[in-house]
């Protein structure tokens, strides 16, 4: 059965050209390219050809391009090598708040080794501001060794101002590493960047191939044990069939993408425009214009992301989510957090090249019922109900709603943490301790109608998503978010009813 | 044209089962196995199946086995993780002198980071002595964090006493990491080892897959940036088609190897026995009994390894060499050095499963002429000529032979470095400075007949191979090697004629 796959940003199915090149190279490219005999020379020719093709697509010279075993390795080893190469210049690392986790992990390792790290913030669209890198370099505690910026965000599709950031870094004499994993299929990365990484399985190439480009003149000191292969930058026996398939498919995908980009952009625009009309209480996130053509992300209020993914999967659609309940770590995606947008019921749709229009239409046809079903099972309020107390407390069985000053709301909500001294105005306290996303927001929505306009609701919650989703809910509903305070258990989030 | 490939120890052609499994998994295993949708679940099933099959072949539990991106990465990361896991116990690392370069590089990195390293010596057959690991652990400057030993040597085929070494290490409470890259196709590694590494392309699996087994209870702290994949032990997107192909082919190869091992052993015995009879001045190296079935190494006096490989390639045979001139570093293989055997004209033959008997016979038929041709072009002495001075100086045109005390041998050989004060006996000095293997040995052989029995020849040479090959030549010829001394340029090697 054909099933539409809408998670190209995680991994793309193998492109036919990749498959063909891989098959051919399996018979020709298995030998050690360092050997002098014919099988080795043949392998070397294939490796050289792959490097030339991939370098051409990236826009560097072949001797500036290294094949690594994955995009993650390219990032880990690229960042470590660039930091070590400039150790004498400084030990400060700058990256945006919405980089791939591989960058964050490399930064954490750098910090653990005594380096310093600063994050460049993004706006609500997930975009770094022009001038932000220049500002971060000026604000650095010491000379900056390296700056990192993705070409486009992997969760919300927002394109970053890479050329501008590269110019700001060049001005300060700091190399910029660009993570081009999400955008390389759609074209080379513009600007005067110093290093670039990518991952072949994102563009329909095989698993097991990453790219690391280091432009001439950039100081680079590979870390870890020495190895003679790939200019000493990527240890281990070369995976020639895979790199050949990666290079061949990148070229093929580029050609198709040139023709496909506009069509996919239109399909994504359709999703961006119609999902909020079809499904109530949805926030579409990411920059609407400066974005990848094929990727769109939205979040659905009062929805459990894991249940939503499960139901979409049952309906035949494979998508991913940045909601906390789907991450295994119980924290929402750091990208959504940095943007300050709703994380519950989060769905990322990333269309592979060639996605049929009717599949997108079918997704739009199916989505409203799927969301309605998940909301119904969670006892989420209908929009009209929110202003009434009709269903308050009926959903999750034990929602701990109590009236009166927060200070008297029982042991879980007691103490000055939830309501300070003198804060004696009438308010409601919702005890959502121990409850996971989206329950705290659902319980808040159910009781907001019980306080008068101008009245206060305090939600006690220990789920990490509440920190993001309660303010986001306030912004969507027009209520005033008055901030959080530590409570005896968890955190007290204060919301003032405005309408 | 079918060409016999005799370098299986470098990389084996892709096994048909690997090819088949890879093809099947390309369509089923490209998605992210961490995702909850059907493509992800399917990928996860394949990954689990691959892990079970590979773990079974290694003899560990599936949760003890990690897929890495290469055997080199398995060694680098396995050694780093095991050392870090036992950092509190100690910072000493013990390994044999004949380990793969990936182990030596990991050890060098450990030393650069402040750790200590000791090499366990091998005998002339390349084998670690029983008790040698116990002795090394006793002699360690502090508590040993990790010991490493290969299951069998990659250059000469000698099997190591792994079970004995593992018992010695276990007795001392030290984990043993076994590099099983060369032997895993022929069966599991016996004994109570703690960690094991291997490389799929060595057994006919695809490139891009290594194995790292870490037995339960072994302290292990992965180094480098965190990553959630492969139990945190191997960062980067899983290469599922390749790991599936690796696991399937390991199982298939094991079955074939059980039937093939004896046949290959007999073919190798034939080479071991007949090469010295067919080709004069050859040393077959490696343990004749305790060895891999398919691998044999020999060295040919007065032969340039690169020329030999080139001629064998022209004759249709792909072999490798540990001679200095084929390594790119101008030093002979550290394995041959540790064994103290001849390195010039070195040839390693490693037969893939299914090697035809007639190909081996054709190799034996071709080899004598090939060696004779290379020797002829180098002006190597015929054996009978060595006792005479007939051809001395005629080969390389400018061989700087001079009679008299070494102290008067001209600017290149002058000074007390080449012949100490009081060392006034009549001797010949051969100036081979600037000449590469095998020329210094050829020049020595040509003049040895010019000194009386009991007389001395001093060779001045700066080629690293001379340090290994002059003593080896003495042993083969029955002359006495009297040691080396630093000279003004290069090193002075002193040989006393015995016959």
Tens of pLDDT, residues A267-297: 999 999 999 999 999 999 999 999 999 999 9
Classify residue B102: in a domain, yes or no: yes
Q: Is the same domain home to B183 and B69?
A: yes
Classify residue B108: in a domain, yes or no: yes
Is A36 close to B309, i.e. CB distance below 8 A? yes
For residue A262, count other CB atoms closer than 10 A to its CB.
10
pLDDT value of position A427: 84
CATH number of the domain at A231, please. 3.40.640.10
Classify residue B2: in a domain, yes or no: no
Classify residue A109: in a domain, yes or no: yes
**Alpha carbon distance A23, A17 (integer Å):** 10
Q: Are A61 and A209 in contact (CB under 8 A)?
A: no
Give me chain A's average pLDDT, please: 91
In this complex, which of A14, A70, A227 lies closest to B236 when CB atoms are compared?
Answer: A70
Q: Is the same domain home to A325 and A466?
A: no
pLDDT value of position A331: 86
Q: What is the pTM of this model?
A: 0.91
Sort out which chain A residues have CB atoms less than 8 A from B82's CB and list them: none
**Helix (H/G/I), strand (E/B), else coil: B454:** coil
Domain boundary among A196, A223, A253: A253
Q: Which residue does chain B place closest to A229, by CA atoms?
A: B72
Q: The domain containing residue B373 runs over which residues?
A: 261-378
In this complex, which of B36, B69, B206 lies closest to A310 when CB atoms are compared?
Answer: B36
Domain boundary among B346, B378, B410: B378
Q: Is the same domain home to B100 and B229?
A: yes
Q: Is the same domain home to B429 and B478?
A: yes
- Higher pLDDT residue, A42 or A499? A42
Q: Which residue does chain A place closest to B234, by CA atoms?
A: A73
**Alpha carbon distance B469, B280 (integer Å):** 16
For residue B433, count other CB atoms closer than 10 A to its CB.
19
Q: How many domains, in total, are found in chain B? A: 3
Classify residue A224: in a domain, yes or no: yes
B21: enclosing H helix or E strand: helix B16-28
pLDDT value of position B418: 42
Pick the catalytic residue: A148, A169, A300, A325? A325
Q: Is the peptide bond before A438 cis (omega within 30 degrees of 0)?
A: yes
A116-120 and A295-300 strand pairing: unpaired
Is B227 close to A72, i.e. CB distance below 8 A? yes
Q: Which residues of B are catalytic?
A: 325
**Alpha carbon distance B298, B397 (integer Å):** 29
Q: Is the same domain home to A111 and A236?
A: yes
B313: closest CA of chain A, how far (Å): 6
**Alpha carbon distance B478, B497 (integer Å):** 8
**Alpha carbon distance B320, B342 (integer Å):** 15
A37: closest CA of chain B, how far (Å): 5
DSSP symbols for A345-358: TEEEEEPPTT--HH
Is B37 close to A7, i.e. CB distance below 8 A? yes
Digit-coded pLDDT (tens) for A129-188: 999 999 999 999 999 999 999 999 999 999 999 999 999 999 999 999 999 999 999 999
CATH number of the domain at A428, please. 3.30.110.40
**Alpha carbon distance B457, B492 (integer Å):** 10
Is A206 close to B26, i.e. CB distance below 8 A? yes
Q: Are B223 and B81 in contact (CB under 8 A)?
A: yes
Rg over alpha carbons for chain B, rounded to the nearest Å, is: 25
CATH number of the domain at B268, please. 3.90.1150.10
Digit-coded pLDDT (tens) for B340-352: 999 999 999 999 9
DSSP symbols for A425-471: S-EEEEE-TT--TTHHHHHHHHHGGGSPTT-EEEEEE--HHHHHHHH
In chain B, what is the greatest distance between 2 CA atoms, to the nearest angstrom? 86
Q: Is the same domain home to B244 and B103?
A: yes
Domain boundary among B253, B282, B310: B253
A491-496 and A456-461 strand pairing: antiparallel
Sort out which chain A residues have CB atoms less than 8 A from B99's CB and list them: none
Classify residue A232: in a domain, yes or no: yes
Q: Is the same domain home to B297 and B346?
A: yes
**Alpha carbon distance A373, A6 (integer Å):** 21
Is B26 close to A5, i.e. CB distance below 8 A? no
Q: Is the same domain home to B102 and B52?
A: yes
DSSP symbols for A124-192: TTS-PPTTHHHHHHHH-SS-EEEEEEESB-TTT-BBP-HHHHHHHHHHHT--EEEE-TTTGGG-PPPS-
Q: Is the same domain home to A290 and A428?
A: no
Q: Is the same domain home to A269 and A230?
A: no
Q: Is the same domain home to A24 and A128?
A: yes
Classify residue B324: in a domain, yes or no: yes
B343: closest CA of chain A, how far (Å): 18
Classify residue B485: in a domain, yes or no: yes
| Per-residue pLDDT of chain B in tens (499 residues, 90 and over written 9) | 567 899 999 999 999 999 999 999 998 999 999 998 999 999 999 999 999 999 999 999 999 999 999 999 999 999 999 999 999 999 999 999 999 999 999 999 999 999 999 999 999 999 999 999 999 999 999 999 999 999 999 999 999 999 999 999 999 999 999 999 999 999 999 999 999 999 999 999 999 999 999 999 999 999 999 998 999 999 999 999 999 999 999 999 999 998 899 999 999 999 999 999 999 999 999 999 999 999 999 999 999 999 999 999 999 999 999 887 776 777 899 999 999 999 999 999 999 999 999 999 999 999 999 999 999 999 988 764 454 443 333 344 444 566 555 444 433 343 334 444 445 566 899 999 999 999 999 999 999 999 999 999 999 999 999 999 999 999 999 999 999 999 999 999 999 999 7
Sort out which chain B residues have CB atoms less than 8 A from A228's CB and list them: 328
Known catalytic residue at A325: yes
Q: Is the same domain home to A123 and A162?
A: yes
């Amino acid at each position: 059965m054909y099933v539409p796959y809408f998670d190209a940003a995680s991994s793309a199915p193998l492109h036919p050209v990749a498959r063909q090149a891989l098959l051919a190279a399996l018979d020709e490219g298995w030998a050690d390219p360092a050997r002098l005999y014919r099988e080795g020379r043949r392998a070397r020719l294939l490796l050289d050809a792959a490097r030339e093709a991939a370098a051409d697509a990236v826009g560097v010279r072949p001797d500036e391009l290294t094949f690594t075993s994955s995009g993650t390795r390219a990032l880990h080893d690229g960042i470590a090598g660039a930091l070590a190469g400039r150790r004498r210049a400084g030990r400060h690392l700058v990256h945006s708040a919405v980089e791939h986790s591989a960058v964050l992990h490399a930064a954490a390792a750098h910090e653990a080794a005594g380096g310093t790290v600063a994050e460049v913030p993004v706006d609500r669209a997930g975009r770094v501001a022009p001038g932000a890198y220049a500002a971060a370099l000026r604000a650095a505690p010491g000379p900056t060794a390296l700056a990192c910026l993705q070409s486009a965000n992997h969760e919300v599709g927002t394109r970053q101002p890479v050329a501008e950031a590269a110019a700001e870094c060049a001005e300060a004499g700091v190399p910029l590493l660009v993570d081009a994993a999400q955008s390389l299929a759609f074209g080379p990365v513009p600007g005067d960047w110093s290093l670039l990484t990518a991952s072949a399985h994102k563009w329909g190439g095989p698993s097991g191939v990453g790219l690391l480009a280091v432009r001439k003149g950039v100081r680079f000191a590979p870390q870890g044990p020495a190895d003679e292969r790939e200019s000493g930058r990527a240890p281990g026996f070369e995976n020639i069939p895979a790199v050949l398939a990666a290079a061949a498919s990148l070229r093929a995908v580029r050609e198709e993408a040139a023709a496909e980009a506009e069509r996919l952009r239109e399909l994504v625009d359709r999703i961006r425009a119609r999902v909020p009309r079809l499904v109530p209480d949805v926030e579409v996130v990411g920059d609407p214009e400066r974005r990848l053509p094929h990727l769109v992300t939205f979040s659905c209020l009062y929805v459990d992301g894991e249940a939503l993914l499960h139901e979409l999967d049952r309906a035949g659609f494979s998508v991913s989510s940045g909601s906390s309940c789907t991450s295994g770590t119980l924290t929402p995606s750091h990208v959504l957090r940095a943007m300050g947008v709703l994380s519950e019921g989060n769905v990322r749709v990333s269309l592979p090249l060639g996605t049929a229009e009717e599949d997108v239409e079918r997704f739009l046809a199916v989505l409203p019922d799927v969301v309605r079903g998940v909301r119904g099972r969670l006892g989420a309020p209908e929009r009209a109900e929110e202003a009434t107390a009709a269903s308050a407390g009926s959903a999750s069985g034990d929602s701990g709603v109590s009236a009166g000053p927060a200070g008297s709301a029982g042991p879980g909500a007691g103490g000055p943490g939830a309501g300070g001294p003198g804060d004696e105005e009438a308010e409601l306290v919702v005890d959502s301790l121990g409850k996971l996303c989206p329950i705290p927001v659902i319980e808040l929505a159910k009781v907001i109608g019980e306080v008068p306009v101008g009245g206060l609701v305090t939600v006690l919650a220990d789920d990490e998503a509440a920190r993001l989703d309660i303010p986001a809910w306030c912004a969507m509903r027009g209520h005033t978010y008055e901030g959080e305070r530590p409570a005896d258990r968890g955190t007290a989030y204060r919301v003032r009813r405005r309408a």
